Structure 1
Amino acid sequence: MNIKEHIQNLRHELRTHNYNYYVLDNPTISDYEFDIKLKELQALEAQHPEFFDANSPSLRVGGEVTKNFNTIVHEHRMYSLDNSYSLEDLQDWETRIKKLVDGEIQYTCELKYDGASISLTYENGNFVRAVTRGDGVQGDEVTANVKTIRSVPLQLKGNYPAKFDIRGEIVLPWEGFHKMNEERLENGEEPYRNPRNTASGSLKLQDSSEVAKRPLECLLYNIKGHNLGITTQFESLERARLMGFKVPSASKLVNSIEEVLEFVNYWDKERHHLPYETDGVVVKVNDLQQQEELGYTAKAPRWAMAYKFKAEQVSTILNSISYQVGRTGAITPVANLKPVELAGTTVKRASLHNSDQIEKLDIRINDTVFVEKGGEIIPKIIAVDFSKRPEHSAPTQYISECPECKTQLVRIEGEAKHYCPNYNGCNPQIIGRIQHFISRKAMDIEGLGGETVALLVNANLISNYSDLYTLTKEEVMPLERMAEKSAENLINGVEASKQIPFERVLFALGIRFVGETVAKKLAKHYKSIDAIKKASIDDLVNVDEIGIKIAESVVDFFASEENELIIEKLRNFGVQLEVSAEKLANQTNKLEHQVFVVSGVFETVSRAELKKLIEDNGGKVSSSISSKTSYIVAGDKMGPSKKEKAEKLGIPLISEQEFLQLLQ
């Protein structure tokens, strides 16, 4: 046997032992024997660098140092999940989806593991990259660190697609977490607070050899790609297992919401015996074609729902109430609590939402209050223990003026929150607006973070977001923690943001009620900032999905002279204030005022491409059939009840080819 064959055989053998130990939990050789073989492989690879393999088992020990984590755009967006907390929530969800898809619906139930979300990419059976969830659209590349996790296969087994992404959670099992904390305490170090945060923090360590020392695991649950040859979610889990991934065995295929609830009730008790943290159950429509039919909202898939286990509750003392000012001027009261352990973290603060909530619960300083984590993430006060209320307790008087600029607060009729109206003179509002402007989904300015924005405002270097484009390296270098290279990165990041497309610039402006989705609708309809500026409330309300509150807010924003000046400055600096000519070239109004429902399986173009073609040509895509529907683009396997409803309403069904002819 020659050296190359010997190295390849050793790699294959070590991969097999690694899979048996970390995925199947069934070791076939001792740790000592494994280490001997690994050392032999390392020695041979050092002597013969010509046989280097980026996915060799020898690289699991780490050693690569990552100073800056590259930002990678996800090929398939990583959505968050809608949450439910009761049988009624699940039944409401089922009612909604049954209106949108035909046929019987089966559900795959899976445990919701509490870790750090990750997307792994494989090409030709080899591990290529790992990217964190980030904001769902893009995340940080953490390939070197994830390579050290033994349950992540670097080379796949059996039959696998040529290219795909697989999603999962990086978790730290309880046993490993406790062992790490024992070692930290022995060394006189602070213990880690909980497994989830420790797992998440591990992915951003610069030295991958440090990550290799941590007993992290990767549990996978969702395959994404094109032409995968998979028809159901449950089948995809089994396929992933056969390829060598660690897929939890707790998943179950059920036929009704009642069976879903049985699964939930069983695991609500049994989860305490699991080796990992889990905070609920994820319920998915099993059939992948039905998933496609259901599609997505702006934030979450319609075909999945997370059922959260009842949150842990504790009681503690309310020491004081402070008030925060948001970028829109909204005031949020915050409860400052006597520190208390809750779901693995120390809780010191909780949101009180608004004055109505304080009054409704009759919350007072020095009260003993019950705290829980809403969805086990954000702590909130749910009740007061009146039996422990101190004598001479006085009701809470909500503040009447801004805690920052002392302006008299206002409360708009029909709204829960109080507002500071000092739009241009209240520091937290100014800082908050600029922080929103530079954020990832908005202008995504590299080299500039929220803390630096506050420093720039407090140093009087900027007073609004257009001032960012006047900054020089010499001006920002004296700021705290700002070296020459950091200052250069900041200036370069601001310059690069001039290429950000108009729809994101519109979102970045921070117009009240204009979120990411509304900004896209307005940019698509009006094509430029000047056209939006000229639009009346009546004009705006006629735009698809724009209501009176949004329309009034848009008109108010552009009526401000200060905002007018800022927009002119942005224009002069070269920020994109209209849809690019390149994008306009691919858009027409051929389908204007027409509403399409897309249903079934297609051959020439994918469902996503069909929807994009409709929208690019001025049409609207709807998920359900109604009297307003103009056409149904019907593919193979379209459900019979949709056909029946279309015939009843007299809505024409057109094929994929007939639709494409409409555009010619």
Structure 2
Amino acid sequence: MSANEAALVLQQLKQRIAEYDYHYYVLDAPLVDDNEYDGVYRELVQLEQQYPELVTADSPSQRVGGLASAAFESVQHRQAMLSLNNAFSEQELEAFDRRVREATDETVVEYAVEPKFDGLAITLTYEHGVFVQGATRGDGYTGENVTHNLKTIRAIPTRLTSAQPPALLEVRGEVLMLKKDFEKLNQQQAAAGGKLFANPRNAAAGSLRQLDSNITAKRPLHFFAYGLGASAGIPELKSHAEAMQYLADLRFPVSALRTVKAGAQGLRDYYAEIGAQRSSLPFDIDGVVYKVNDFDLQSTLGFVSRAPRWAIAHKFAAEEAITLIEDITVQVGRTGAITPVARLKPVFVGGVTVTNATLHNEDELRRKDIHIGDTVIVRRAGDVIPEVVSAKPELRPADARVFVMPAVCPECGSHVVRLQDEAIARCTGGLICPAQRKQAVTHFASRRAMDIEGLGEKLVDQLVARNLVNHLDDVYRLDLAMLSGLDRMAEKSAQNVLDAIAKSKKASLPRFIYALGIRNVGEATAKDLAQHYGDLDTLMQANIESLLEVNDVGPVVADAVYQFFQEPHNREVIAAMRDLGVHWADIPRKKQSAAFAGKTFVLTGTLPTLKRDQAQAMIEAVGGKVSGSVSAKTSYVVAGAEAGSKLEKAQQLNVTILDESALLAMLELPSSVPETTENNKVKSAENVENQQGLF
């Protein structure tokens, strides 16, 4: 057989195996038995061994056996993988529908509805029909490259079955494990003396993040697609329902339970329908998802913080169980908060075995009249921290004891105080308190803060216990000798941590502000502060009146930020970190610009020098709005390389198109991008007016 003949046979074998996989893993309707499938697969492998130069990335033989990695590399998402806001009641559902109708001037809104899978969110990237990369959601903007492991999931096609595959297609979906497969896996783990998984979600997440894809291949993972990310060269899709059908036509597994409903009553009906089927479904779900179906309406609604305004997850009621409080202790948080924690007799609730549950604060503990020794109701919903709902006083034993909050911190012996009008008691030890020190460093290194991979709780515990890290700046003084001398830290592992620390020195200003651990300052507030002030020095000098001018900053947050930067020790730590090389690009700070106020921008393609979140921050800082899709209400489309369908739609609607240079010119910032050419079909700053209507 010649190489050309072998290539033809291989192509036919690939197509046969892809057909078998689709019917078996997606349609659940096998075409052949296992023996026949194995025979075809062996024929393909033997032929590839004979002609290794014909092995391609989309071959079924490449699904298994990717090289083990020391760690997963980071992947920057082309479009952010945002979270969803939650609704837990009919009132919250109706409020969501009302907000949508008021914002769109629609009498009745049509929603695409689907189950909310309880798995791990991922994105799949296809270029010209070939699967080239898969990544986890991560923090929504940056995930982990798990391509090798995703290739082992037979439900995910490695090549699209389309005569004209798109130049770029990002498919968003969920990796999960079916209930029956989870039970079988745990039986195998028990027989082998291995660790049992708590629930299918944990099993799926742990399997997908194996460093050796041979292990992942042995785990029965499944996949469902639920949306699109960035794309170029796909048909014009006007709704989410059309997008899901497009994915189904490309042979991606999509939920058969998806449909379209009208108005709040339609959403209530669907919630009841899926809720009634929940226990009999082959996979775990923790609610349902409602998305405004029409893409133009989605564009009108836009986004808030880390979530779209046009979608919401309607969660099922929390699961509850009855157990016994064996003891009550306190936990010291990174801000010094003293939280009472119930130590429970282990109980299975909400998909996991629960041994601890929060009691929130002293007032809540007294209100619920909870004693040590009580029989209590424990609640857990999704990823929410388990809590004690109520006690059963009729079952209280004679030796039950009232819990008394400590007067001194159990970690450092400092006084515990409770300020007026605050429900939380706090340790006064500050950074001399080991618990606060550990929590502060762990938070600082966390993925959504400085993202120092490897610097987790166990390593931080050792660093603090040995006085190697007393303040945040000490993280940047660690060296190979310090780290490699710790428990379970070989030289290579220590070097990986040092590399991650060095990488974190190049931060973004919002991440750095969030990483400082200022009370009441989350990611969204950190971003607002960075955009408002533009640089850290200006923020550190801000008074209360100035802070109250920041978007969504009220008196409590303003006071927390002001007091944090008034503390000399905090200023010293920040100065030390900057001296040790921690830096970021300041965000241009301007007043509202008439050129941007009330204008809607859409970013598409890869810009020459700006990342998408940087461009978005610049636009929002001067009063503009950034949307995810093009509509008649779009003012400008900022287009880069491989802009795709959004650029095409903008041209059809005669929307003004800018390149990066034009955007920077509007922002009155210098451009480092070469002037665009006529062939780019993107308008530069000086010819926007002249070329209006060109397309």
Whole-Å Cα distance in 2 between the matches of residues 637 and 478 of structure 1?
60
- Provide the identity percentage: 37
The match for 2:161 is 157
Shift in Å, 1:326: 0.9
Change over 3 Å in CA distance of 1:551–1:252 after alignment to 2: same
Q: CA deviation at 1:610?
A: 12
How far has the Cα of 1:594 moved from its partner? Answer: 8.7
Q: Distance in 2 between matches of 1:473 and 1:536?
A: 42
- Aligned 1:177-196 pairs, distance under 5 A: 177-196=182-201
Change (3 A) 1:438 1:281: same
Task: Give, in whole Å, the separation in 1 of the partners of 2:378 and 2:507.
Answer: 42
Q: Give the TM-score, by structure 1 length.
A: 0.89
CA distance in 2, matches of 1:405, 1:600: 52
Would you say the 8 A contact 1:145–1:208 is kept in 2?
Answer: yes
Equivalent position to 2:551, from 544, 547, 550: 544
- CA positional deviation for 1:246: 0.5
Question: Does residue 81 of structure 1 match 2:84?
Answer: yes
Whether 2:120 is the aligned partner of 1:116: answer yes
1:133 matches 2:129: no
CA RMSD of aligned residues (A): 3.0
> Does structure 2 retain, via aligned residues, the 8 Å contact 1:326–1:429?
yes
Match for 2:225: what amino acid? Answer: L
Question: Residue 223 of structure 1: SS of its match in structure 2?
Answer: strand
Residue 22 (structure 2) aligns with: 19
**CA deviation string 1:48-107 (max 9, x = no partner):** 011011111122344543332212122222222222122111001112222322334211
- 556, 568, 572: which is aligned to 1:561? 568
**1:321 lines up with 2:328 in the alignment:** yes
Tell me whether 452-461 or 221-230 shows the greater mean CA deviation: 221-230
The structure 2 residue matched to 1:464, chosen from 463, 466, 471, is 471
CA pair 290-486 structure 1, distance change in 2 beyond 3 A = same
* 1:328–1:593 Cα change, 3 Å: farther
Distance 1:22 1:422 in 2: 57
State the alpha-carbon separation in 1 of the partners of residues 32 and 559 from structure 2.
70
* C-alpha separation in 2, matches of 1:325 and 1:97: 41
**8 Å contact 2:595–2:666 — kept in the other structure?**
no
Match of 1:201? 206
SS of the equivalent of 1:570 reads helix
> Structure 1: where are the runs of 5+ without partners?
625-633, 640-653
**Local SS of the residue matching 1:170:** strand
Structure 1 residue 596 and structure 2 residue 592: aligned? no
5+ residue gaps in structure 2? 636-653, 668-684, 686-695
1:347 aligns with 2:348: no
One-letter amino acid of the counterpart of residue 632, structure 2: D
Q: Alpha carbons of 1:18 and 1:412: their partners in 2 closer, same or farther (altered >3 Å)? A: same
Matched, 1:58 2:65: no
Question: Is the alpha carbon distance of 1:251 and 1:118 closer, same or farther for their aligned partners in structure 2, counting shifts above 3 Å?
Answer: same
Q: Is the 8 A contact 1:525 1:543 kept in 2?
A: yes
How far did residue 352 of structure 1 move?
1.1
Deviation, 1:318, is: 0.4
Distance apart, 1:611 and its partner CA: 11
Question: Which residue pairs with 2:337 in the alignment?
Answer: 330
Deviation at 1:254, TM superposition (A): 0.7
Runs of 4+ deviating beyond 6 Å: 600-606, 608-611, 657-662
1:232 and 1:365 map into 2 onto residues whose CA distance is 55
Mapping of residues 207-222 of structure 1, within 5 Å: 207-222=212-227
Secondary structure at 1:565 match in 2: helix
Structure 1 position 198, deviation (Å): 0.8
- Does the CA contact (< 8 Å) of 1:447 and 1:490 recur in 2? yes
Q: Secondary structure at the match of 1:398?
A: coil
Give the 3 Å change call, closer, same or farther, for CA 139–432 of structure 1 in structure 2.
same
Structure 1 Cα separation of the partners of residues 143 and 323 of structure 2 = 37
State the partner residue of 1:453. Answer: 460
Structure 2 contact 443–449 (Cα < 8 Å) conserved:
yes
Q: Are 1:364 and 2:343 matched, yes or no?
A: no
Q: What is the number of residues matched between the two proteins?
A: 634
- 1:245 is matched with 252
- The correspondence for 1:494, drawn from 473, 491, 501, is 501
- The offset of 1:604, in angstroms, is 12
1:328 partner SS? coil
Deviations 1:480-501 (A, max 9, x none): 1122222223333333322213
Measure the CA separation in 2 of the matches of 1:369 and 1:528: 50
Residues 1:100 and 2:98 aligned together: no
How many angstroms apart in 2 are the aligned matches of 1:416 and 1:482?
Answer: 41
Q: Distance in 1 between matches of 2:130 and 2:474?
A: 47
The Cα of 1:37 is off from its aligned counterpart by 0.8
Offset at residue 240 of structure 1 (A): 0.5
Task: Please say if residues 319 and 366 of structure 1, whose CA atoms lie closer than 8 Å, have aligned partners that are also in contact.
Answer: yes
SS at match of 2:474: helix
Q: Could you tell me which of 375, 385, 393 is aligned with 1:378?
A: 385
Q: Taking structure 2 as the reference length, what is the TM-score of the superposition?
A: 0.85
| 1:294–1:623 Cα contact (<8 Å) kept | no
Identify the residue that residue 436 of structure 1 maps to in structure 2. Answer: 443
| Secondary structure of residue in 2 paired with 1:5 | helix
The answer as to 2:398 corresponding to 1:398 is no
| Cα offsets for 1:564-622 (capped at 9, x unmatched) | 2212212322222x644xx6xxx47373599833469999999x989957944852247
Q: Is the 8 A contact 2:380 2:387 kept in 1?
A: yes
Aligned to 2:632: 636
- CA distance, structure 2, for counterparts of residue 129 and residue 407 of structure 1: 51
Cα distance per residue 1:328-353 (max 9 Å; x no partner): 11112111000112233211111111
Distance 1:185 1:528 in 2: 55
- Match of 1:486, SS state, is helix
Aligned to 2:75: 72
Work out whether residues 505 and 581 of structure 2, in 8 Å CA contact, stay in contact via their aligned partners in 1: yes
- In the alignment, is residue 225 of structure 1 matched against residue 233 of structure 2? no
Q: 3-state DSSP class of the match of 1:499?
A: coil
Q: Which stretch of the first structure deviates more once superposed, 393-402 or 547-556?
A: 393-402
- 3-state SS in 1 of match to 2:432: coil
For residue 512 of structure 1, give the secondary structure of its aligned residue in structure 2: coil
- In 2, distance between residues paired with 1:497 and 1:190? 34
Letter matched to residue 465 of structure 1:
L
1:264 aligns with 2:271: yes
Verify the 8 A CA contact 2:593 2:622 in the aligned structure 1.
yes
Indicate the SS of the match to 1:337. strand
Q: Which whole-Å CA distance do the structure 2 matches of 1:146 and 1:618 have between them?
A: 38
1:310 matched residue in structure 2? 317
Q: Is the 8 A contact 1:601 1:637 kept in 2?
A: no
The residue matched to 2:417 in structure 1 has which SS?
A: coil
Alignment partners' CA distance in 2, 1:139 and 1:26: 34
Q: Secondary structure at the match of 2:416?
A: coil
Return the alpha-carbon distance in structure 2 between the equivalents of residues 534 and 313 of structure 1: 48
In structure 2, the residue corresponding to 1:179 is in which secondary structure? helix
Does the residue aligned with 1:69 lie in a helix, a strand or coil?
Answer: coil
1:503 is the counterpart of 2:507: no
The structural deviation recorded for 1:208 is 1.8
AA in 2 matched with 1:167: R
